[in-house]
Structure 1
Amino acid sequence: EGEQGRGAWARQSPRLLVSSSTSRGITRSLPLLAADPRPPSSRRELPDSSSSPCTVFVEATTSCADPSELLCREEMADAGEGGDRETARGLAVSSSACISLILSQARVEAAVTKAERLWKEALEARQLADEMSSQAQDAAELSQARSEEVSSKLESMDKISLKFLADSKSAINSSVDAAALLKEAADESLRADKLEAEAEEALRLSEQLIEEYEAKYGNL
Structure 2
Amino acid sequence: MPLRFVPFGQKPPALFSPGHRMQQPQLTRHKRMNVLPMFLNVFVPWAIFVYCFSLSSSYLMYKTPILAWLCISAVFVIWVVFVLAAFCARKYDPDPTWFTFFSVLAAICVVWGILAGLANLRTYEDPYYTLQEMRDAKGSNGAGVNPSLVSGEDEMDAGILTFEPGSMFDADKTWHFTKGTLYCVAPIIGPGVSTPLRQTYDFWAVGLCLTSPHAVCIPFVVLAVAS
TM-score normalized with structure 2 length = 0.29
Bigger radius of gyration among the two: 2
Q: Which protein is richer in helix relative to its size?
A: 1
Q: Which protein is richer in strand relative to its size?
A: 2
